[in-house]
Amino acid sequence: MRYFHYKLSEGVWGTNPYDAVAALGSLLDPSGYVDGDGYRLAYVTGDCDPDGLDAEWDVSEVTESEALTFAQTIWEDAVVLANGHISQPPRTEP
């Protein structure tokens, strides 16, 4: 599994590099992990080079360990699942 870490365009929400990644022949699957600075973790399939993306999103490829550490700063019980995705916190009903 490949992991990208990128900045959303409007703080903790906004546009992401999905279309730009797709234009380079890869797919971006955003995770639910977004920190208070607007950085999000995503899963990537294909050979997309993050250096070829617009600097607006501050995209970098991170290791599985770095992705897990990022997720655990948001939800400490996060673990890497067999498919490479990182577990999500349980939903809480309002």
pLDDT band (50, 70, 90) for residue 57: confident
Distance in angstroms (rounded) separating the CA atoms of residues 21 and 14: 16
Does the pLDDT at position 5 exceed 70? yes
Q: What is the pLDDT of residues 10-52, one digit of tens each?
A: 877 778 888 999 998 899 999 999 999 999 999 999 988 888 8
Please give the pLDDT value at position 8: 87
Q: 25 is written with which tokens?
A: 């022949």
- Domain coordinates in residue numbering, the chain: 2-74
d(CA 27, CA 21): 6
Contacts of 26 (CB under 8 A, 6+ apart): 44, 45, 46, 47, 48
